[in-house]
Structure 1
Amino acid sequence: MKYNFNEKIDRRGNHSAKWEEIGNKFISNDLWPMWIADMDLKTAPVIIDAMREKLEQGIFGYVYRPASYYQSAADWIERRFGYKIDAKTLINSPGVVPTLSILVRLMTKADEKVLIQSPVYYPFSSVVKENNRELVVNELIKDEEGYYTIDFEDFEKKVADEKVTLFIMCSPHNPVGRVWKREELERMSELCLKYNVRVIADEIWRDIIMPGFKHIPVASLSKEVENNTITCFSPTKTFNIAGLQASFATFPREEEWKMVDEELGRLDVKRNSPFSLVGFEAAYTKGEEWLEELLIHLDGNMDYVINFVKERIPEIKVRKSEGTYLMWLDFSGLGMTKEELSMFMQKEAKIALDDGFWFGENGTGFERMNIACPRYMVEEGMTRIEKAIIAWRNK
């Protein structure tokens, strides 16, 4: 391949949250870091070049966004997903989670409810509760093979509640790795339209799709669905530039675009950094070749984990993710409580993974592993887990 995704890069001493803030979340700083969702891989050279050009000018004042910035995002969506949007419907914000928080506050009343599907990215519940809205949960159904589907009977029951006015969808789904099928997206959208529930689709993982699967932007299903859906996305996960902290949201309704734009103005967060400005546009205009090779690397890392578990750690169950670079490992066969499993991973395996119960109580018994890294990191992580389970077997 043209790009080296197995290069060893020492991120310590560079203010890396993943490597040097472990002690704030786990028992110590010396755990093997396969938790927080950023990559231990250099971003695309075209992005580095664009930021280097900005750096070498030596002036980092306020910047404005040219029309080409928004158009690059719109063109990317059309090129990758065959879905054409008007660049004028886009808003730039500091990140997807801040956007979700703003939308929950502005688009719901104090006595209204917000629906999510668990287990799911834990800030979903936080942005609801911290804005003093009631959280409603539609739990995903897991079969014996670890494959998750939607409980549509329960979903309809929840959206039929007149107090439920907003549904935050995760597509592709973090942490279970599902890429929702067209019929699943259509059914959820039809029910939300039927019961007058607005949809916010978090599609930040839309570019990280494994071979054989296809992401469908939910807003692309029909004009009616598009008008009912606000979509949040960003190149940050795709190109490992999360630290640049910016994202997009597309608003089909002009009055809501204006409402959110005014709120961002009140918060005084309407400008990019000089580096996110040029980095994002470079990603969306020149980064496709790099992404295609990245997906091959991630697919290989997932296969490595699948084969390792199958051959050497039968106590664990894991399915290959359809999307995202996250793997959802089932340790329930060990018979541990959520607290015991968390400490087992930290004290015995000496690895930092995201505990499953962070994503909802129905994530208990699971651990989320980030495999967006050089292969040696995956090998080391799996070896540590195997060593800990061998010791557990012998007790």
Structure 2
Amino acid sequence: MQLEKLIDRRKTHSVKWYIEDQDIIPLCIADMDFQVSEEIVNAISHKALHGIYGYSTFCERYYDAVQYWWKTQYDWELKREWISFSPGIIPGINLLLKALTQPGDGVIVQDPVYYPFFSTIETQGCIILNNSLIYSNGAYEMNFEDFEEKASQPNTKVFILCSPHNPVGRVWTFEELRKIGEICDKHGVFVISDEMHGDLTYSGYKHIPFATVHPNHLKFSITCAAPSKTFNIAGMQSSIFIIPNKDVKEKYEGLLTGYGLMRPNAFAVEGTIAAYYKGLPWLQEVKGYLEENLQYVCSFLKEYIPSIKVVKPEATHLIWLDCRDLGIPHDKLHSFFLENVRVRLDEGMKFGRGGYGFERINIACPREVLTEALLRMKAAVKGKEETC
């Protein structure tokens, strides 16, 4: 299987693998250690062989590909005029907050959550309103009562929805999205829906775009997505922002142009077209492999390291690990894995107070790498327990 192939990324300027200590295994940062589909490689190679890499723009083939993907995967008929661009989700959300808020306005997030949301809100001079998720019996759910209390505050202007949720892996149900939408509509709160991981769902789960839940959602929501996590092409820096509200789209694109961020890189357009038209077989194979990796991690930890609990994800190639039973202070947990285990995870503390005692692990790697990391974890935890 091609996904089992070990590929050395250490000298490729990879952020994930750019580490001085060559013995450390990085299972952090949400990209995959799998080669992309042959169709994407061919499309990029053809573009590279052209030999000119000047300023690029979008074409009808690009828009057709985006519309094709959302129609075939989510039965959503996107209008061409809704589709906009950003070089990444976070740069785009920064501009959206600038368009939708004033300094001092409140922005709701549901921690533990993707940590760049926090700095993005603060950068725009806004106030972070934490509607913390409820963790019970190994699973997470929304606190709707607290959400409405925060949404009803007069200075609350925006809610950043993470759907599917990163890092806890929840695929929000139709009913959950409907309730959130009703509350936001009632109190005039605009929804920025980060749906970056929507294509990476596991068996038995289906991502529902927030904007499709009710026709009213089109008026007060923006959908942020990309082929980057889905097809492992984050370095192409091409995100898709679906903005049905004409006035908001004009404000956003004015800022995009003003900051000089309106053009894709030379390979983004062809890479996106190849991904959306020809990448589905590769994606299906990857999702099957991720599901096997997920089951492997769950079984291994249950048998050998029961003090680490898996918050079983419904989507994403990430697993949220409950490490509180290890008895390690939350501010020492990350260094324990890095120094004792020699595995770099994503530090749970960065995801908000709800992340204290947790770590996030990326399982999008060959099983051989994952096995070595788990064996190191087993040995380090055993050694800790023996010295206690």
Cα distance between partner residues in 1 of 2:28 and 2:38: 25
Kept in 2, the 8 Å contact 1:112–1:165? The answer is yes
1:249 to 241, 251, 272: 241
Aligned to 1:116: 109
Cα distance between partner residues in 1 of 2:140 and 2:55: 46
Partner SS, residue 308 of structure 2: coil
Cα distance between partner residues in 2 of 1:166 and 1:220: 19
Aligned to 1:364: 356
Kept in 1, the 8 Å contact 2:99–2:248? The answer is no
The TM-score normalised by the length of structure 2 is: 0.98
Kept in 2, the 8 Å contact 1:349–1:388? The answer is yes
| C-alpha distance after superposition, 1:344-383 (max 9, x if no partner) | 1111101100011110011011110000111111111111
Kept in 2, the 8 Å contact 1:78–1:85? The answer is yes
Aligned to 2:13: 15
Partner SS, residue 322 of structure 1: coil
| C-alpha distance after superposition, 1:9-53 (max 9, x if no partner) | 011111111011x46xxxx56421000111100011111100000
Does residue 155 of the first structure (1) align with residue 138 of the second (2)? no
Aligned to 2:75: 82
Correspondences of 1:1-395 after superposition (within 5 Å): 4-20=2-18, 22=19, 28=21, 30-144=23-137, 146-395=138-387
| C-alpha distance after superposition, 1:225-278 (max 9, x if no partner) | 121110100000001001111101011111221111111111112111121110
| C-alpha distance after superposition, 1:289-346 (max 9, x if no partner) | 1111110010000000000011111111113210000000111001221222112111
Cα distance between partner residues in 1 of 2:149 and 2:338: 40
Partner SS, residue 267 of structure 2: helix
- Deviation, 1:64, is 2.1
Cα distance between partner residues in 2 of 1:343 and 1:349: 9
Partner SS, residue 118 of structure 1: coil
Query: Structure 1 stretches of 5 or more lacking a match?
Result: none
Partner SS, residue 17 of structure 2: helix
Partner SS, residue 262 of structure 2: coil
- Deviation, 1:87, is 2.2
Query: Structure 2 stretches of 5 or more lacking a match?
Result: none
Kept in 1, the 8 Å contact 2:102–2:125? The answer is no
Cα distance between partner residues in 1 of 2:22 and 2:116: 23
Cα distance between partner residues in 2 of 1:270 and 1:109: 23
More displaced, 195-204 or 63-72?
A: 63-72
Cα distance between partner residues in 1 of 2:310 and 2:169: 11
CA root-mean-square deviation: 1.1
Could you tell me which amino acid in structure 1 is paired with residue 182 of structure 2?
A: E
Could you tell me which amino acid in structure 1 is paired with residue 267 of structure 2?
A: F
Cα distance between partner residues in 1 of 2:252 and 2:114: 23
Kept in 2, the 8 Å contact 1:306–1:319? The answer is no
Cα distance between partner residues in 2 of 1:320 and 1:148: 10
Cα distance between partner residues in 1 of 2:155 and 2:311: 36
Aligned residues, how many? 387
Could you tell me which amino acid in structure 1 is paired with residue 334 of structure 2?
A: S
| C-alpha distance after superposition, 1:71-116 (max 9, x if no partner) | 2112101100111111221111111110111111111011311110
Cα distance between partner residues in 2 of 1:255 and 1:29: 50
Cα distance between partner residues in 2 of 1:389 and 1:236: 35
Cα distance between partner residues in 2 of 1:6 and 1:88: 41
- Deviation, 1:129, is 0.6
Indicate the percent of aligned positions where both proteins have the same amino acid: 39
Q: Which runs of 4+ in 1 moved over 6 A?
A: none
Could you tell me which amino acid in structure 1 is paired with residue 382 of structure 2?
A: I
| C-alpha distance after superposition, 1:201-232 (max 9, x if no partner) | 00000000000101000100111012111010
Kept in 2, the 8 Å contact 1:110–1:133? The answer is yes
Kept in 1, the 8 Å contact 2:178–2:214? The answer is no
Kept in 2, the 8 Å contact 1:329–1:368? The answer is yes
Cα distance between partner residues in 1 of 2:23 and 2:250: 47
Partner SS, residue 139 of structure 1: coil
Cα distance between partner residues in 2 of 1:350 and 1:64: 44
Cα distance between partner residues in 1 of 2:153 and 2:374: 45
Cα distance between partner residues in 2 of 1:319 and 1:271: 39
